[in-house]
Amino acid sequence: MRRGVPSLSALQAFEAAARHESFSKAAAELSQTHGAVCKKVNELEAHLGITLFERVRQRLVLSAAGAEYARRIRVHLDQIRRDTLELVRQQSEVKIQLAVGVTFASQWLIPRLHDFYALNPDLQLHIMGRDQPTFFDNSSFDAAIYFAQSLWPAMPGQPLVNDDRILAVCAPALIGKRDSLTSEAISALPWIHTRDLPRAWLAWSETACSKVIEPSSSNQHYDMFIMAINAALSGLGVALLPRILIERELRSGALIQLHPHSIPNPETVYYSFPEQKRDWEPLKRFDQWLSAAVRDYRDGCRRDHTAAVEMTLAPN
């Protein structure tokens, strides 16, 4: 034993003997002989200069000092076990470093990750918010998901969603008991603008009306989609937002589409990865799950559209 530090094997032998109040049971638990456990406990007592056990009528009984020491040692041994198991678990996990747009991660990807982990318990996604181009040569990312009009340069990948629509939405409280508004009525409300769709309101009004309309109330400008979504949820105005980012809010009724007209989203959701990662098995598994999640999303969109049409055609 090092001075002041008993050996781990001696502490394990003592803790097991203290818990069972038996050298024989401790020896069976530790897969050692009775004599080996006795020797380690005796050496520990000699090292400490303290009697840890008393022998009463051929029974092993902890002394007061031994009981307190066993309680303390048990805490530390349990922590060593937990730390060891955690280290082994971490080494057995495979980590995928994923760069994702902040709003897409918050609104679409993260709510679906329960299914991913249920199917892939040995994989861990490390998700970092990135709304600007990520170049794999200068980072440790294994893949990226982002909105863009084309794949980022020198980054192979594939489009995930290229037929998204931009909807005019607001909180129900903003329009009271009305189900929808005319384009002229919409112009009387505050308009919410986002950095990544600077011409959306112009494109929407040009195609929704016979003439370009302008807001008669104040305009609001937000840098990120997540800001615009929360502004709309708070009743601050009408926003033009990609449907893929507000799926849950539309289904829950927290946001409503207040005009039937929509316009194509000029940007595609892309999934990219470094060329050298193309055949990396963990990334292929994530790719398969992601493709299935997108198919489920599309199926949900079709069901929602069918339900909306049936509701419109249903007799009063």
The CATH number given to whatever domain includes residue 203 is 3.40.190.10
Q: What is the DSSP letter of 23?
A: H
Domain coverage including residue 258: 165-264
Residue with tokens 């991913």: 116
Tokens 């927290």, residue located: 254
CATH number for the domain spanning 13: value is 1.10.10.10
The answer on 302 and 289 residing in a single domain is yes
Contact 99, 157 (CB under 8 A): no
What total number of domains does the chain contain? 3
pLDDT in tens, the chain (316 residues): 556 678 999 999 999 999 999 999 999 999 999 999 999 999 999 999 999 998 887 788 999 999 999 999 999 999 998 888 777 766 666 889 999 999 999 999 999 999 999 999 989 999 998 877 666 665 678 999 999 888 877 777 889 999 999 999 999 999 887 767 887 788 889 999 999 898 999 899 888 876 667 766 678 999 999 999 999 999 999 999 999 999 999 999 999 999 999 999 999 999 988 888 888 999 999 999 999 999 999 988 888 767 665 555 555 5
- Those residues whose C-beta lies under 8 Å from the C-beta of residue 172, and which sit 6 or more positions away, are 253, 256
Provide the token pair at 25. Answer: 């049971």
In a shared domain, residues 247 and 299: no
Would you state the pLDDT for residue 311? 55
Residue 68's alpha-carbon distances to 14, 20, 74, 197, 216, in angstroms, are 12, 15, 10, 67, 77
- Domain endpoint, select from 92, 121, 138: 92
Q: What is residue 2's predicted lDDT score, i.e. its pLDDT?
A: 55
pLDDT for residue 176: 83
Contacts of residue 196, defined as CB under 8 A and 6 or more positions apart, other chains included, come to 147, 225, 267
List, in order, residues 6 or more apart from 222 with CB less than 8 Å away: 192, 193, 194, 195, 228, 231
User: Is 170 among the domain residues?
Assistant: yes
Q: How many C-beta neighbours within 10 Å does residue 25 have? A: 16
Structural contact between residues 272 and 144, judged by C-beta atoms closer than 8 angstroms = yes
The pLDDT of residue 205 is 87
Element (H, E) at 143: strand 143-148
Residues 226 and 308 in one domain: no
If one counts every other C-beta atom within 10 angstroms of the C-beta of residue 72, the result is 10
Q: Whole-structure pTM over 0.95, yes or no? A: no
Nearest-angstrom CA–CA distance, 183 and 181? 6
Tell me, what's the pLDDT at 289? 96
Q: Are residues 72 and 113 in the same domain?
A: no
Q: Give strand pairing partners of 54.
A: 61
Distance CA 226, CA 196 (A): 12
Residues 180 and 260 in one domain: yes
